[in-house]
């Protein structure tokens, strides 16, 4: 997020309106809800976690035990079990 001087981007009438509420302070103006990206979509975190989880599930189905997965992915036992359980619940297996 970068700093932009309101005087440089707002018409004088609107700047006057804003100045009735706040003067000399920083003001954050959020994006419209329709323009907001979901969590992790911009930087790729979401897709990376989905791929990691698919890899964990594949390894588990191929016989890798929970404790080996814990060490390989630096996750707790509960996290590994949650990933595997969610996938099994989605597939109905």
What confidence tens digit (pLDDT) does each residue in 53-75 have? 999 999 999 999 999 999 999 99
pLDDT at 44: 81
Residue 36: what pLDDT? 67
Q: Domain span at residue 79?
A: 6-91
In a domain, 58, yes or no: yes
- Assess if residue 1 is contained within a domain: no
Residue 76 clears pLDDT 60, i.e. is over it: yes
Residue 87 lies in a domain: yes
**CA angle centred on 38, ends 34 and 42, rounded to 5°:** 105
Residue 57 CA to its chain's centroid (Å): 21
Q: How many separate domains does the chain show? A: 1
Whether the pLDDT of residue 91 is over 50: the answer is yes
Does residue 39 lie in a domain region?
yes
Q: Is the four-CA dihedral 11, 14, 18, 23 of positive or negative sign?
A: positive
Read off the pLDDT of each residue in 13-20 and give the average, rounded to a whole number.
Answer: 93
């Amino acid at each position: 997020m970068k700093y932009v001087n309101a005087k440089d981007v707002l018409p004088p009438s609107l700047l006057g309106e804003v100045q009735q509420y706040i003067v000399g302070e920083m003001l954050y103006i959020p994006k419209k809800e329709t323009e907001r990206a979901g969590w992790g979509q911009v930087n790729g975190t979401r897709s990376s976690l989905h791929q990691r989880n698919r890899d964990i599930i594949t390894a588990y189905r191929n016989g890798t035990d929970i404790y080996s997965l814990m060490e390989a992915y630096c996750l707790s036992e509960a996290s590994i079990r949650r990933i595997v359980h969610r996938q099994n619940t989605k597939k109905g297996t």
